[in-house]
A and B are shown apart, each in its own frame.
Chain A
């Protein structure tokens, strides 16, 4: 470490020369906290997470409770925003953001919808990280022919147009698991998906297609630390491959991997929203912001509030994750500041 002017001064004053010892992660956390945008992003994510967890408390009614007589109603404050609605709209103060075409509370659906987006934001990166990091580290660690073959497979997968392929996969899942016989494996999977409101297949679909970038990144990282002295040392004292991989290599490369995943979260969220938008995402009546935007955009001329709120919610969520991802990258590797 370079000797800094303040340290010299400290030394002259008889103070101890060392700074307080900080681990990489403490150090990174300190930098993250000082980044205002990242803090804002983090706070929004935490608020969203709390909303999602405590959705039954926050929401005014169940997300699927329909009151057909009260469909497409708005509260009076919305009339001030969209005065042109006054001619035909029915007023109802019981719905803070209005109700949809079958009389479900938009606010409650928005709150429950946060669950879907946040689950995707949580699970999709984990799946992608698990598959990609395992694949990439095997490829990078063993090198040679294994590496060559494994990377050629990734190259091929790269040529698949991701979104189109996910759509095809979703169609495959949806119809294969549509009417399974009771007691079979298919049935169990279909039941699980049903209980998750259709999210299981979204995770699988995104997971299958999203790990290639992660695999390439991991491989590159493994290649760069594989020949370092500490790995050599571990090998000399007789550590097994698995131990070297998990104890010595993985902790040294995990930073960039986490950053990459965080930066990809908005993409996953937008995939889910788009899949739900075209009707291949979650099962109705499970509320997803994508479905709400799709329903709302059909009546955008008459009831613009129905598309506005889910759209804004989705945009804010993606903002928050982008800010957080950027901040995390800068914090973990200050050299990368502002790249990408």
Chain B
């Protein structure tokens, strides 16, 4: 198991390198640069800007420089937060006036006083909060619904559960979003139509500093819009898995030895049927990651999504790279965690 994890982690590095290479190549292949304007800047200014951000160097050098800035820890004498060119995600103070800095994702070319790390620090937590609540909601709705449908197969409960599931997978966020806003935000005025209820600073870097009614008022529509569709996926899988488990031999054995139907279901069927559901959490996480993105655009939530689309049209290279790399990292880690958890839950599975 240990060797398996190490091998997967090494593979993760390879994957991220490839993703970064392809993204870097593609984004520089898009014609135009970050400082192109309707009215062209004077050549001298252009040259200075390009030199400041090393955009005048060959692409390979730029790429290696980008990797170096992220990967190599450095000793610096300027305190964090002074220069946008020297802003690291991890700062460790050593001695009186020196810092070990690690993971510099570069400055944003468009928001001149912000860095990609600033976006990670201020906006990523919002996306995280949204995604986290959505996945919790998806599980909270999806599991009971799927269990109910599976336990009472071919009854009204089953049809109800599966209708809700089909409704969930069929209504995309861009449909549900504006409709929810129109009903609850505009006509009834119960909820704020757009925005988010938490600002920096965050507790532990990600959690909102104050969780109150106001926070949930902002969160409820986007979280529902995002989580509902995924709860449908979970519900369908839970039902299918439960139906399959009920037909297993050990369930017949449990019944044969005289256990009550209740015990058979809770102790033998339900518990075992949940194992395959874990596997779907990986893909669901992937959908949520990009889903937060769509949701943020619709509800005007200041998360990562807002920056990505504008960064592409602005050729804001470090922001594009940072966002894609971050999301790719999340995807790979999520799949790794799911595989490991799966092996723990089902002792029959062995990775060599």
List residues of A whose CB falls within 8 A of some B CB. Answer: 84, 155-156, 158-165, 167-169, 171-172, 175-176, 178, 266, 270, 273-274, 277-278, 290, 293-294, 296-297, 300-301, 304, 307-308, 311-312, 314-315, 318-319, 322-323, 326, 338-340
- The yes or no answer to B308 lying at the interface (CB within 8 A) is yes
Known: A160-B324, A171-B313. 11 other contacts (CB 8 A): A159-B18, A160-B328, A161-B324, A175-B30, A176-B30, A266-B169, A273-B172, A297-B181, A319-B166, A326-B166, A338-B240
- The yes or no answer to B337 lying at the interface (CB within 8 A) is no
Chain B residues with Cβ below 8 Å from A297 are: 177-178, 181, 298
- The yes or no answer to B170 lying at the interface (CB within 8 A) is yes
Nearest A residue (CB) for B324: A164
Binds A, one of B135-143, B197-205, B288-296: B288-296
Chain B residues with Cβ below 8 Å from A162 are: 286, 290
A269 to B169, CA, bound (A): 12
Question: Quick check: A270 and B174 within 8 Å, CB to CB?
Answer: yes
From B16, B23, B182, name the one whose CB has the most chain A CB atoms within 10 angstroms. B182
Question: Quick check: B26 and A172 within 8 Å, CB to CB?
Answer: yes
> Is the interface on chain B under 10, 10 to 19, 20 to 34, or 35 or more residues?
35 or more
Question: Quick check: B308 and A167 within 8 Å, CB to CB?
Answer: yes
- Shortest A118–chain B CB gap in Å is 16
Residue in contact with B174 in the complex, picked from A84, A273, A340, CB distance below 8 Å: A273
- The yes or no answer to B297 lying at the interface (CB within 8 A) is yes
Main secondary structure of the interface of A (DSSP, over half): helix
Known: A162-B290, A308-B179, A338-B240. A319 touches B15 (CB 8 A): no
A159 to B186, CA, bound (A): 39
- The yes or no answer to B320 lying at the interface (CB within 8 A) is yes
A156 to B186, CA, bound (A): 44
Residue in contact with A172 in the complex, picked from B29, B289, B309, CB distance below 8 Å: B29
List residues of B whose CB falls within 8 A of some A CB. Answer: 11, 14-16, 18-19, 22-23, 26-27, 29-32, 162, 166-167, 169-172, 174-175, 177-179, 181-182, 186-187, 236-237, 239-240, 243-244, 286, 289-290, 293-294, 297-298, 308-309, 312-313, 320, 323-324, 327-328, 331-332
Question: Quick check: A319 and B179 within 8 Å, CB to CB?
Answer: no
In the assembled complex, 15 residue pairs joining A and B whose CB atoms fall closer than 8 Å, in A order, are A156-B19, A161-B286, A161-B289, A161-B324, A167-B308, A167-B309, A167-B312, A168-B27, A171-B313, A172-B29, A175-B31, A175-B32, A301-B182, A311-B175, A339-B244
Chain B residues with Cβ below 8 Å from A156 are: 14-15, 18-19
Nearest A residue (CB) for B290: A163
Residue in contact with A338 in the complex, picked from B19, B22, B243, B293, CB distance below 8 Å: B243
Residue in contact with A161 in the complex, picked from B27, B171, B327, CB distance below 8 Å: B327
Chain A residues with Cβ below 8 Å from B313 are: 171
Chain B residues with Cβ below 8 Å from A164 are: 290, 293, 308, 323-324, 327
A103 to B169, CA, bound (A): 34
A51 to B320, CA, bound (A): 40
Residue in contact with B166 in the complex, picked from A163, A273, A322, CB distance below 8 Å: A322
Nearest 9 A/B pairs, CB to CB: A339-B240, A161-B327, A297-B178, A163-B290, A270-B172, A318-B170, A319-B170, A311-B175, A171-B312
Question: Quick check: B320 and A168 within 8 Å, CB to CB?
Answer: yes
Question: Quick check: A277 and B30 within 8 Å, CB to CB?
Answer: no
A277 to B174, CA, bound (A): 8
Known: A164-B323, A338-B243. A278 touches B290 (CB 8 A): no
Question: Quick check: B239 and A338 within 8 Å, CB to CB?
Answer: yes
Question: Quick check: A155 and B15 within 8 Å, CB to CB?
Answer: yes
Chain A residues with Cβ below 8 Å from B328 are: 159-161
- Shortest A42–chain B CB gap in Å is 15
Residue in contact with A160 in the complex, picked from B19, B29, B187, B308, CB distance below 8 Å: B19
Chain B residues with Cβ below 8 Å from A318 are: 169-172
Question: Quick check: B186 and A300 within 8 Å, CB to CB?
Answer: yes
Nearest A residue (CB) for B30: A172
Question: Quick check: A171 and B30 within 8 Å, CB to CB?
Answer: yes
Question: Quick check: B169 and A322 within 8 Å, CB to CB?
Answer: yes
Nearest A residue (CB) for B241: A339
Question: Quick check: A338 and B290 within 8 Å, CB to CB?
Answer: no
Chain B residues with Cβ below 8 Å from A339 are: 236-237, 240, 244
Question: Quick check: A290 and B29 within 8 Å, CB to CB?
Answer: no
A314 to B178, CA, bound (A): 13
Question: Quick check: B289 and A168 within 8 Å, CB to CB?
Answer: no
Chain A residues with Cβ below 8 Å from B286 are: 161-162
